C-alpha cells in the first residue's frame, strides 16, 4: 500500500519535472529564434549596397556605414596585433619558465577576475590612461581592448600549453636542446589551436564591445586609411548602432547593423567550433 502510493507520487513528480524542463528548453529555443528572426527581419531589408559602401552625408541626408565597417576592421587588427604577442608571451612565461607556483597562481586568479569586470570600467580606465594623453581615437580604444582581452588570450594559450605532452619536452631536452628551442619547436606548435581560439573569442568580444569604446574611441564616421584611422576618433559598428538608434532615431540603419553583427557572431562561433574540432582530430592521431 504504502509503496504503491509512494511510487505513484514519485512518478507524478518525475512527469512534472520533465514537463518543466521541456518548457524551459522550449522557451530558450523560442527566444533565440524570435531574436534572430526579428532582428534579421527588421535589418536585412535595410541592408543595401549603398549603405555598405558610402559614408553618411549631411547634404543628401543619406546614411552609409562604410566608415564604421573600416573602423571595426582597424580596431580588431590593431588590438590583435598588440594583444597577441603580449598574451602569448605571458602564457609561455607562466607555464614554461616561471618557477614560483604561488605567484603563477595569483596571476592566473587575477586574470580570471579581470575577465569578469564590467567593460564600462575598462572604458573609464582607458579614458584616463590613453584618451587623456593621446586624444580620443581608435588607437586609444584598441589599447583599452588590449587590456580587456589580454586575460582571454593568456588563459586560452596557457590551457593549450598545458595539453602539450610533457614527453615531448623531455624528448627535446634529452637531445640537448635549450629551453627556448624546446619552446619554439615543440611546445608552441602544439598550442596554435589555443592561440587561434583565443583570437576568435577576442574578435567576438571586440565586435560586441560598446561601453569601453564610447569613452575612448569616439563616434566619428570618417573614411580613413588604417594609419590615419587609428589616430582619429571613430565609431565601430556596435558604437554606430548605439548612436544611430539612441541619438538619431535611425532604427532602420540600427537594425541593419544589428543584423550584420548577428551574422558575424554566428560565423565567429562557427569558426571557433571548427578550429576546436580540427585540432581535436589532429591531437587524437
Partner 1 sequence: MSIIFVKDMCLWYGDHQALKNVNIEIPEKSITAFIGPSGCGKSTFLKTLNRMNDLIPGVKITGDICYEGTDIFSKEVDVNNLRKEIGMVFQKPNPFPMSIYDNVAYGPRTHGITNRVQLDEIVERALRDAAIWDEVKDRLKKNALGMSGGQQQRLCIARALAVEPKVLLMDEPTSALDPISTSRIEELVMELKEKYTIVMVTHNMQQAVRVSDYTAFFLLGELVEFGKTDDVFSQPREKRTEDYITGRFG
The footprint of partner 1 on residues 175-204 (CB under 8 A) is: 175-178, 181, 185-186, 189-190
Residue 54 corresponds to which cell in the numbers above? 558610402
Task: Supply the minimum distance, in Å, between the C-beta of residue 168 and partner 1.
Answer: 6
Q: Report the residue number, 76 or 172, with the smaller CB distance to partner 1.
A: 172
* CA angle at 78 for the pair 128 and 235, rounded to the nearest 5°: 65
CA distances from 255 to 16, 61, 97, 268 (A): 40, 18, 49, 20
Q: Report the residue number, 13 or 180, with the smaller CB distance to partner 1.
A: 180
CA distances from 229 to 16, 51, 150, 166, 217 (A): 59, 20, 23, 45, 11
Nearest Cα to Cα of residue 39 among 260, 268, 274 = 260
285 near partner 1, rule: CB under 8 A: yes
102 near partner 1, rule: CB under 8 A: no
Task: Supply the minimum distance, in Å, between the C-beta of residue 17 and partner 1.
Answer: 47
* CA angle at 110 for the pair 105 and 111, rounded to the nearest 5°: 100
Q: How far apart are CA 159 and CA 170, in angstroms?
A: 19
Total residues binding partner 1 (CB under 8 A) = 20
Q: Report the residue number, 96 or 159, with the smaller CB distance to partner 1.
A: 96
Task: Supply the minimum distance, in Å, between the C-beta of residue 197 and partner 1.
Answer: 19
239 and 214 in contact (C-beta within 8 Å)?
yes
Q: Report the residue number, 60 or 100, with the smaller CB distance to partner 1.
A: 100
Task: Supply the minimum distance, in Å, between the C-beta of residue 266 and partner 1.
Answer: 32
Task: Supply the minimum distance, in Å, between the C-beta of residue 259 and partner 1.
Answer: 42
Task: Supply the minimum distance, in Å, between the C-beta of residue 91 and partner 1.
Answer: 19
Rule CB under 8 A: choose which of 1, 99, 133, 225 binds partner 1: 99
Q: Report the residue number, 18 or 282, with the smaller CB distance to partner 1.
A: 282
Contact partners, residue 5, CB within 8 Å, separation at least 6: none
93 near partner 1, rule: CB under 8 A: no
Q: Report the residue number, 187 or 214, with the smaller CB distance to partner 1.
A: 187
Nearest Cα to Cα of residue 194 among 228, 163, 165 = 163
Q: Report the residue number, 141 or 190, with the smaller CB distance to partner 1.
A: 190
Task: Supply the minimum distance, in Å, between the C-beta of residue 94 and partner 1.
Answer: 15
The footprint of partner 1 on residues 151-180 (CB under 8 A) is: 165, 167-178
Nearest Cα to Cα of residue 139 among 238, 218, 68, 57 = 218
Residue 124 corresponds to which cell in the numbers above? 573609464
Task: Supply the minimum distance, in Å, between the C-beta of residue 95 and partner 1.
Answer: 14
Burial class (CB in 10 A: 0-12, 13-18, 19+), 233: buried
Residue 177, phi then psi, degrees to nearest 5 = -80, 145
Q: Report the residue number, 5 or 101, with the smaller CB distance to partner 1.
A: 101
The residues that touch partner 1, with contacts defined as CB under 8 A, are 99, 165, 167-178, 181, 185-186, 189-190, 285
Amino acid at each position: 500500500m504504502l509503496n504503491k502510493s509512494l511510487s505513484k507520487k514519485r512518478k507524478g513528480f518525475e512527469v512534472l519535472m520533465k514537463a518543466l524542463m521541456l518548457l524551459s528548453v522550449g522557451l530558450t529555443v523560442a527566444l533565440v529564434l524570435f531574436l534572430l528572426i526579428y532582428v534579421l527581419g527588421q535589418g536585412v531589408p535595410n541592408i543595401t549596397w549603398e549603405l555598405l559602401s558610402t559614408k553618411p552625408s549631411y547634404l543628401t541626408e543619406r546614411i552609409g556605414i562604410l566608415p564604421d565597417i573600416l573602423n571595426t576592421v582597424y580596431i580588431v587588427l590593431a588590438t590583435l596585433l598588440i594583444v597577441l604577442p603580449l598574451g602569448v608571451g605571458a602564457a609561455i612565461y607562466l607555464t614554461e619558465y616561471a618557477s614560483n607556483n604561488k605567484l603563477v597562481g595569483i596571476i592566473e586568479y587575477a586574470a580570471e577576475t579581470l575577465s569578469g569586470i564590467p567593460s564600462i570600467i575598462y572604458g573609464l580606465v582607458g579614458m584616463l590612461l590613453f584618451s587623456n594623453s593621446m586624444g580620443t581615437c581608435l588607437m586609444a580604444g584598441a589599447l583599452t581592448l588590449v587590456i580587456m582581452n589580454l586575460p582571454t588570450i593568456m588563459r586560452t594559450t596557457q590551457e593549450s600549453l598545458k595539453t602539450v605532452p610533457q614527453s615531448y619536452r623531455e624528448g627535446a631536452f634529452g637531445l640537448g636542446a635549450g629551453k627556448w628551442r624546446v619552446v619554439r619547436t615543440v611546445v608552441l606548435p602544439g598550442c596554435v589551436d589555443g592561440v587561434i581560439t583565443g583570437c576568435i573569442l577576442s574578435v567576438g568580444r571586440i565586435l560586441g564591445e560598446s561601453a569601453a569604446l564610447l569613452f575612448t574611441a569616439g563616434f566619428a564616421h570618417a573614411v580613413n586609411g588604417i594609419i590615419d584611422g587609428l589616430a582619429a576618433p571613430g565609431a565601430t559598428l556596435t558604437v554606430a548602432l548605439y548612436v544611430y538608434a539612441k541619438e538619431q532615431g535611425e532604427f532602420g540603419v540600427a537594425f541593419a547593423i544589428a543584423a550584420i553583427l548577428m551574422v558575424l557572431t554566428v560565423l565567429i562561433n562557427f569558426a571557433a567550433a571548427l578550429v576546436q574540432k580540427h585540432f581535436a582530430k589532429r591531437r587524437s592521431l
